[in-house]
Structure formats: structure tokens, C-alpha cells
Amino acid sequence: MSETLSNDWNPETYLRFRGLRLQPALDLIGRVGHLPGRGAVVDLGCGTGVVGPVLRERFAGRKVIGVDLSPAMLAQAEAMGIYDHLAQVDAAEWQSEAPPALLFSNAALQWLGDHETLFPRLVGQLASGGVLAVQMPRQTDGPSHVLLRQVAAALFPERFADAAPKPAVLEPAAYFDLLSPFGAVTIWETIYQQHLQPAADGHPVRAFTRATVARPILERLNEEETGRFLAAYDEALAVSYPLRPDGTVIFPFRRLFMVLETG
């Protein structure tokens, strides 16, 4: 994950939904085909390293490198003992020491801007015949994310604009145009019907978003404001994502995938 070091990620909160966050990575790995004879596998935005063991098994015999800016996340990744090397650096500024065979990024690059520059830069680091495989959430227009912005703007209009931000993740066709000059591109979207278990501390969807997309809002609120915001967010979520009789929720979540096989 790429974030400023002043407010680090919370691995425990993030890992509450480890299985749901891992499934898209497994689906992406399954679409990676032939790799060139030489070159490492780079887990760009490796976070806690949950994908590391899968990458190690799938691409046995290759060096596996993890890249992330969060010290807390990297500490978790290092404890797994999977990666040959871990680098604490912003993914937007990372530069490979040797051309990798695979640049793999699961739910990380959406935190970075200027994808029109970033993606060609990453491709330019690949070994000849190398592969870029990326998965990013594309949930900006989903109720879970829209309600975050609306509730924040309603409660604290002096700090939060009501207008929707420019999405960091582009339309699928834009990535095809960016990547197709470099080789064969496969792009697809999946809406995961996520079954969230009851949460002791609010609506299940709030528990899911709190570790990720809600962070920029919560970081700007004090304890009393946080309580008011979360209560209002829970109330709004209950309308868009009604609880089932057992307290669980079906939470549709859209994700964008792309695999580039360079020529």
C-alpha cells in the first residue's frame, strides 16, 4: 500500500477481511501465463504479504520481491518469511534494480494518481517478454463509497466537499489504450457478491471500508466527530445494504483486472 508514513496502515483491521481481499489476487494470478526465462516476481504494494505464498508457489524458482511504503504492513510481510527482499518505497517512485519477469499488483495502484504516466513507466521496467498484472477496486460510484462522501459533507461541510472526486481508476478502455502499444492486453471486470459476517462495531460494510477507503475521512476527525460520522454512515448503509436475518450482508464490489504480455 502506498501511503504517507505519518499515519500508517493498521494491518489487524485490514486483515479482518483477508479471504475476501485475497480472492481477486488468486483470480488474477490464474490469468498470468508464460513468463520470460529470467527475472523476479515483484509484488507491488504487497501490504501484509498475503499474496506472497501464492506467488512463491505459482512461480517457484523465481526471486519474489515485495514493495510497500507502510512499515507496519512490511513488518507483517517480513514475519511470513516468504519474500527474498522487501523494499520500503512508494510504488509510484519504485525503480527495479533488474528487469522483473512479472509486476503483480493487487488492490494497490488505485491509491496512486496519474495512471497515464505510472502504467507506461512500470511497463518500461519489465524484462523482454515480461508481464504486468494489476487488480484495482472500481467501486467509487457504489453506495458504500458514495455514502462516505455524502455523510462527511453533510456533517462537516466546512471540511468535505460534496462533489465526487475524480476517480483514480480510469475506465477500462483507457487502460487498453495505455497498454496495447506494449503488447497483448486482457482486461475484465468482476462484481464480487461478498458475504460479510455480522460486525460487533457497526454495519458490516462499514467494517470493510473502514480499513481502506474511509481512512482519508477518519484521519481528519477527532474522537467525538468520528463517533457521529460512523453512526450516520451506519444508518445510511442499512438502507442500501439491509441486514439479512442472520445479521450478514451481501455486498457487491466491483474490481478491474488487466494483464499485459509484452512482445
Tens-place pLDDT, residues 111-135:
998 999 999 999 999 999 999 999 9
Please say if the pLDDT value at position 108 is more than 90: yes
**Can you give the residue ranges of every domain in the chain?**
11-262
12-16, 71-75, 91-95, 219-223: range with lowest mean pLDDT = 12-16
Q: How confident is the model at residue 168 (pLDDT cuts 50, 70, 90)?
A: confident
Topology annotation, domain 11-262: Rossmann fold (3.40.50)
Please say if the pLDDT value at position 162 is more than 70: no
Tens-place pLDDT, residues 53-75:
999 999 999 999 999 999 999 99
Vertex 254, ends 188 and 105: CA angle to 5°? Answer: 65
Q: How confident is the model at residue 165 (pLDDT cuts 50, 70, 90)?
A: low
Tens-place pLDDT, residues 18-45:
567 789 999 999 999 999 999 999 999 9
Q: How confident is the model at residue 52 (pLDDT cuts 50, 70, 90)?
A: very high
**This prediction's pTM:** 0.88
What percentage of the chain reaches a pLDDT higher than 70? 91
What percentage of the chain reaches a pLDDT higher than 90? 83
Tell me what pLDDT residue 134 has: 98
Axis crossing angle, helix 172-179 with helix 115-123, rounded to the nearest 10: 40
